[in-house]
Chain A
């Protein structure tokens, strides 16, 4: 059973299932690319993949290795540039945005800049890249994270990308576009959303074989709990076949 799929494959499948057909998704490097590609082969053939350096509406036949590479506009509908894409997002055209980071807090704020003090970092991380822009202007963002105490922290060392900042109303107060913000956090242990009133992270489902206690133990802050917590289905044979044969035949993410 445990040999049937890898943790990465589970993450990719869970992220892929979140996406609705006929919407737009801002795709970053790594797992989001695989998730979007898988979604196109499953429930969302009309998912419009948008890549920050200019690719819109690509058919993701081969796994892009960079957010600007040729595969990001493979048989695409439009190949433009970063300003066009970012401005399209700023105008409200992009529904989903995928994010990742080294740390996330209860409000979905993400850190991908540094561990420790930014002025004298213990670890210098890649930086915002398009992350901050995705988190600022997409309607709904989905963070994909390995789930452990080091990553799920009460306070991130640096808010690279805004989640709900300090809580209800904070995004609007800062000037960010209204009705935007974190939507789901897909992790190695389960799927979380954000409770409407408090804007705090809430567990809505656990991954196969994972208990609610496991999630709590691996979270460095107090988690809200949904009224009923479902168990996510493991990757189906179909999903695994497409993932291994079509999406990532070289096994970069196995």
Chain B
């Protein structure tokens, strides 16, 4: 007898567009082709961006705010002139640099602002002027769980967040009646990124990465990306990784490029290594308020610098050392 096919009723669909529809078979094929040998992946920020970022890519950054953020990579990305990106809108300064230089067309938006310093004027100008063409809303958990679904290799993840709100209305999530409980549940589509930028405390030349302090969403996002560019405060021998493999959050086979970037999170902070450069950050917060100030800042602190070493020289090693945490790792 033919089995009656039952389908799960969709009770609600968000109006937002699915910027990056997940193609799980293509992701599997991609991952199958990624090299599994231990290959030396050391290169500069410029080489990494040149090789692994394309115009129109969907990009994500980790971590958040001004914490362990891949700023040296972001500066190189801005200098590269590459553009027309879609971004996972979970962050602050990295995303502001891209928005300020008009590189972003679509955003899966959860939070882009300055935390205790308030609303980002750069975001306001970019979104209110329409230079960003498409904004789709998510919650923080929602966006991260989308990474998690991709990391699991499944097309969606069920969640009890976002339900009933305009956030879900302007998202690309769907709601179903759960086939097990009968309760309504949100389905969040897997988000497979083209490229992820992650700054870590230490890595070996193959890309085995260890992170001190909270791990944010490095675990999930690194596994949701087709290409991962890592910058590390410290490059260590693989022997050191092998002594504490439980500390490895991102294993080498996920990683395409490893960049040695001491003070790579500056003006943000790095767990157990250095504090946020509050004085510089406050200056930035003031300058981002106007288009002129923003342009001036980007020119002076991003575009006019040839590389990360030039930034370190410009800030001055004495000042950077003064940010170091006493008794910290570095």
Contact = CB atoms under 8 A, between A and B. Distances in A.
A110 to B, nearest CB: 9
Nearest to B134: A119
Contacts, number: 198
Given A86-B140, A137-B160, A123 B124 contact: yes
B186 A118 contact: no
The B contact surface, by secondary structure, is mixed
Interface size class of B (residues with CB under 8 A): 35 or more
Contacts of B63: 53, 68
Interface in B280-301: none
B214 A68 contact: yes
Contacts of A51: 214
Interface stretch (B142-150, B236-244, B250-258): B142-150
Interface residues of A, number: 55
A149 interface: no
Interface of B: 63-68, 89, 109-113, 115-116, 119-120, 123-124, 127-128, 130, 135, 137-142, 144-145, 148, 159-167, 170, 175, 183-186, 213-220, 269, 271-272, 275-276, 278
Interface of A: 29-30, 51-55, 65-70, 72-73, 79-83, 86, 90, 109, 113, 118, 120-133, 136-137, 158-162, 165, 170-171, 173-177, 252
A160 B166 contact: yes
Contacts of B278: 65
Given A54-B214, A133-B141, A158 B166 contact: yes
A192 to B, nearest CB: 21
A26 to B, nearest CB: 11
B217 A82 contact: yes
A55 B65 CA distance: 15
Contacts of A137: 160-161
B116 A170 contact: no
B67 A82 contact: no
B216 A160 contact: no
B161 A126 contact: no
A143 to B, nearest CB: 15
